[in-house]
Chain A
């Protein structure tokens, strides 16, 4: 047992347990400090909800985790290494869905899904893409231009990205916006499946989101 600790085994196992580690993170927007000294870690199978009032820095936190914004202070580690060092390796393991759907009005749902998955580095064949869209409740809408779909259906097209690809970390900014009750249930199911496969998810929402059998950890920004 002693040798374990001497060889640093204890530390290694801890690093694998906590895949995403945030230490002492601070975020500044303009002259305004949104938060500082923020530390938390997230391991396989864990779900974290970021809470806070409008303007408390939820989106800024998620965007910092994605590397769009540089943190004013603090570090973000993935599997024990700084995400800036990891760069593309980190991006291959994460997926971010923000307020914007990142879909094109001129393309149909199928084209949108295949292209956005392709831009994220994975080639998805038509069968796989159709299966994902049908799972998201878009049966018979696959070949319609996205501009004729409703807001909720567009959101479903964007969320179907989660079903293709094998990202371990999901970062979801208000994923439930514009979704109906059925789709919210489906999202809970999808997050549950993702966590049970050893994935992890961070999300913000103003709606209740309960995943069966998983305790949602809360992070309050004030």
Chain B
């Protein structure tokens, strides 16, 4: 028996959550199918005019990504909470923040990364330019982890509450507005021939800020929820 290092622990949590998701694939597919469906509904609703679709593509993809990432948030800690695993995590002789970071990374790989990968295909549906697609993928790559991190705080705060699933969306969605603004702003900038760097830089700053604080805040929220 050996003591696990922090990175060993981080890897273990990520592997565990991915393994659990592989044994329960429906949950992962739900998020992805929801995302594709919401995005595809827009052209049906607003009409097939190519110019208008091209203009609103980034916004539609972002809003759909935001809603899709809300779907799986309620599940982030609830299964572990119900079967007692979360209790054991709180008793781990390592920092709880590291365990939480592992869970956030796994959550992003299962609910954020698939959206990033499928987004260019949906962007093509809307007739987006090649450069627009490229920037869209870049900002989604930076933005979806932020959604997972802010979402983790909300999920931890609403743990064990009745109707927690709806409550977490109400709590988290307003906090995600800056991500939405700069995420769509970057693609708009490209479309209007301006530089997208400032938007990406701000998203990067938000990413780093949440990377530093979100695991810690989530860990504190989990301790409060367990009392």
Which A residues fall within an 8 A CB radius of B? 66-70, 88-89, 91-92, 94-96, 98-107, 111, 115-116, 118-124, 128, 164-166
Contact = CB atoms under 8 A, between A and B. Distances in A.
Nearest to A70: B227
A164 B1 CA distance: 8
Given A69-B227, A70-B227, A121 B9 contact: yes
Interface string B69-107: 000000000000011110111111111000100000000
B201 interface: no
**Which of A70, A94, A115, A128 counts the most B-chain CB atoms under 10 A from its CB?**
A115
A99 B84 CA distance: 8
B96 to A, nearest CB: 9
A175 to B, nearest CB: 14
B83 A100 contact: yes
Contacts of B1: 122-124, 128, 164-166
Interface in B44-69: none
B110 to A, nearest CB: 14
A18 B196 CA distance: 65
A88 B16 CA distance: 22
A103 B16 CA distance: 12
B2 A122 contact: yes
Interface of B: 1-4, 8-9, 12-13, 16, 19-20, 23-24, 82-85, 87-95, 99, 226-227
B156 to A, nearest CB: 15
Given A115-B16, A122-B4, A124-B1, A102 B92 contact: no
A123 B89 CA distance: 15
23 contacts: A66-B87, A66-B91, A68-B87, A91-B92, A95-B91, A96-B87, A101-B83, A102-B83, A107-B20, A111-B19, A116-B85, A118-B9, A119-B9, A119-B85, A119-B99, A120-B88, A120-B91, A120-B92, A122-B1, A122-B3, A123-B2, A164-B1, A165-B1
Contact of B92 (A105, A121, A166): A121
Nearest to B227: A69
Contacts of A119: 9, 12-13, 16, 85, 88-89, 92, 99
A121 B83 contact: no
Contacts of A118: 4, 8-9, 12
B87 to A, nearest CB: 6
B88 A116 contact: yes
Given A121-B9, A165-B1, A68 B90 contact: yes
Contacts of B16: 115, 119
Closest 5 CB pairs of A and B: A100-B84, A92-B93, A102-B84, A106-B23, A91-B93
Contacts of B2: 122-123
A120 B20 contact: no
